[in-house]
Amino acid sequence: MQLLKRNNVHIFGKGNQALIFGHGFGCDQNMWRYVTPAFLRNFKIVLFDHVGSGSSDLSAYNWIKYNTLEGYADDIIELCQELNLYSAVYVGHSVGAMIGILSAIKAPSHFEKLILVGPSPCYYNDGDYTGGFEYQDIQAMLTYMDQDYGGWANSFAPFIMGNPEEPSLGEELAASFCNTNAAIARHFAEVTFLSDNREDLPKLKTKSLILQCSHDMIAPEEVGHYVHQHITGSTLINLRATGHCPNLSAPLETIAAMEDFLLQ
């Protein structure tokens, strides 16, 4: 039960198979609120917050453990073990998608399928690889977070969200950033945006769906194609949705793509 408190776990729905939803950087489980109702009748819904995010137990934040994405992946495996979840479907957004990949590589029996929304194994450009950012730009962003976290949150959130015609979406994400402990958020940002998990992709054997948005400034289309090319047997769907958070900006399209994949 301590683990469930640690990650602020909520379980509901009527199905036998679990749908585990993992959020991205600066977010929490509330970011799935437009998606989960579509699956209540046929799945057990498992929502959680990464430690340090949302309403998780901040006292459980371990700076050494969470200095790599592996620490978050271990939490998901522990969650599956605690709830006796096997052959589950993990739905991960952004860095939550990469965390899910690492979890499935390490403990494949817990996962039947992965749904990866805007995944990126590496956020910075490196030789022929297009990640979307220059390495020095990420360093500058981290410095900005150190100097003025609130200013960073209000300027970076609309950049992540996209969809400038709906400013309320960016405002919601900025509020989520501001509700996160600034020091922990800065640490998670460094771990996220400076991570390089490209070599892990071929290790994944779990059936996977990649949902790629257009005009995504965080995980551009080249990244989605790279992930698809390096995960054997994966399926790539290019959504009409723009920005980085289709779970908020285009939930119906996201749901439709998920439903088709779940029936396969």
Which neighbouring-strand residues pair with 196?
122
- Let me know if 244 is a catalytic residue: yes
- Let me know if 230 is a catalytic residue: no
88-93 and 111-117 strand pairing: parallel
Pick the catalytic residue: 50, 74, 93, 94? Answer: 94
Q: What is the 3-state secondary structure (H, E, C) of the chain?
A: CHHHHHCCCEEEECCCCEEEEECCCCCCHHHHCCCHHHHCCCCEEEECCCCCCCCCCHHHCCCCHHHCHHHHHHHHHHHHHHHCCCCEEEEEECHHHHHHHHHHHHCHHHEEEEEEECCCCECECECCECCCECHHHHHHHHHHHHHCHHHHHHHHHHHHHCCCCCHHHHHHHHHHHHCCCHHHHHHHHHHHHCCECHHHHHHCCCEEEEEEEECCCCCCHHHHHHHHHHCCCCEEEEEEEECCCHHHHCHHHHHHHHHHHHCC
Half-sphere exposure (CA, 13 Å, Cβ side) for 10?
15
Pick the catalytic residue: 110, 216, 228, 234? Answer: 216
Enzyme catalytic residues: 94, 216, 244
